[in-house]
Amino acid sequence: MGQNIINQLLLRLLQQHQLDHQVYTAPDSISLTEDWIHRTSPEHTLTSIAALKDRTGIVIAVFPENQSIQLDKLNKTLRRRLEFIPADRFEAFLSAFQPENGPSKINDQTTKIIIDEASSSQDLLCLELPQQRVLQTTPEAIEQIPCTVLIGSSFSSLEQPESNEADAFSSLYVRNQIKDITSLPAMPDTARKLLAIRNSSNSTLQQINRCISQDPALAALIIRYANSAMFGMKGKINDLNDAIFRVLGFDGTLHLALGLALGKPFKLEEQGQLSRMNFWQRSVYTASLAQKLALEIPKKYRPQPGLAYLAGLLHDIGYLLLADQFEPTYKQLNKLATANSTVAISALEQLFLGVHHAELGQMLLQNWNLPNEVIIATRFHHDPNYTGLYNEYANLILLADRLLKSHDLAYADNDEIPHDLCVRLKLDEEQIYAVMDEVIQGDETLRGMASKLSA
């Protein structure tokens, strides 16, 4: 079966969804035996597709024409057992995508398109079609086909070199090695002291002040936060004592300082969706919004605002553990998340790693003996249906994340606000959006904090 027959699949998908493409036919003067496409199209734009299938569904792979698919690598990358659709079955498969048959039978749950990194970086893709025709389209047009479209991974090659790159995406790589982790990162000294203060029944504001004062960078961050417009304080807060006594109080200062201190030992990349700045910016905003939302909840049901702040600051800490324990995997996930910015990162994690950052975060926070409320919030902050123990903290973080998603300030799966969630938290729509506006007004302060944390 000729490659030009297979390439018709992409043409039919583009036609059915009215996506950008052009089809050119060879002039009459061109012989049927003449290699017209290679004479008229730049070599780097020449593209092929392959249709593969397993029990999970269909994968349509897009890759450079002069390369071959490394099936083992593709299967490791997707955690699948794909096989090429046999020639004797392809015509029947292709008929399902005939334009005259109405909407295609593509199932966005079971069909995926994956574009090789070498092809996704091109401005134009050219595919040979039957009858001396050429299809021209773009990676951007293919990304708009209504199914999961993944880019940024390399699964084809001119040769067949051995590579460990795909192993980093195997679910066995991360999932099986989690149980083998024998040395989780130690809790930073300042954080350990602050946790001891929190767990003591005789703790005082003076003890917190002394502990934080030993870490000038941490003290500066707390003073910066106390000066945020969210608190509406008249006059400038110039020292730690004022920040503690006039603005934040015992609970607020303790949990703010604890969260900031816990993240200090970890390093992330400078660029990408999971970069240092992006991570800390999202953490700081979620923490601040969760704290403010907690204060709006009727006192009878209200979670501790300081603890809500701590939960917000640490809810994505699983990414920090991933970077610490599985650095190559973290870098590849960052690369894929950046290339596939319209796909929820949590979906990419499950697809490529077989483990969710919430699970990794739970493991780390349990090892550090943090409050159960924070551990639960970290583990279930992507689950809108969680109603178990300490659900108010998990629900609060999910709400804050989804509110911030519309401002590109959260890793939430989407920005939908479930009505049942608001009912459980005893919050109405007017309240949550008013609080959201207050937090956004503190933009300069929060971005400054994130910048310092990511430095």
Q: Which of 132, 163, 194 is the last residue of a domain?
A: 163
Residues 149 and 240 in one domain: no
**383: domain CATH number?**
1.10.3210.10
Residue 169 clears pLDDT 60, i.e. is over it = no
For residue 99, the model assigns a pLDDT of 53
> Smallest Cα–Cα separation from 136: which of 11, 9, 2, 4?
11
pLDDT tens per residue across span 340-356: 788 889 888 876 777 89
Tell me the DSSP string of 252-310: HHHHHHHHHHHTTT----SSSTT-HHHHHHHHHHHHHHHHHHHHHS-TTTPPPHHHHHH
Cβ atoms within 10 A of the Cβ of 385, count? 10
Residue type, 116: D
CB neighbours (10 Å) of residue 285? 27
Provide the number of structural domains found in the chain.
3
Q: Which of 217, 241, 265 is the last residue of a domain?
A: 265
Q: Both 27 and 115 in a single domain?
A: yes
CATH number of the domain enclosing 123: 3.90.960.10
Residues 62, 171 within the same domain: no
Q: At 59, is the pLDDT very low, low, confident or very high (cuts 50, 70, 90)?
A: very high
- How is the beta sheet containing 58-64 ordered, strand by strand? 83-84, 47-53, 58-64, 111-116, 148-153
Domain range for 239: 186-265
> Which DSSP category does 35 fall into?
-
Global confidence as pTM: 0.70
374: tokens are 């924070």
Residue 165 has pLDDT above 50, yes or no: no
Helix (H) or strand (E) holding 83: strand 83-84
Helix and strand totals (H; E) in the chain: 24, 10
- Is pLDDT above 50 for 171? no
Each residue's pLDDT tens digit, 206-264: 999 999 999 898 999 999 888 887 777 777 888 899 898 888 888 889 999 999 899 87
pLDDT of residue 33: 47
User: Which ranges in 406-455 belong to alpha helices (H)?
Assistant: 419-425, 429-441, 443-454
Asked if 303 and 390 sit in the same domain, the reply is: yes
DSSP state, residue 153? E
Assess whether 355 and 246 both reside in one domain: no
Same domain assignment for residues 72 and 130: yes
pLDDT digits (tens, 9 = 90+) for 84-116: 887 667 666 766 665 554 555 566 667 899 999
| Closest by Cα among 261, 259, 336 to 290 | 259
Task: Specify whether 222 is located in the same domain as 338.
Answer: no
Same domain? For 202 and 156 the reply is no
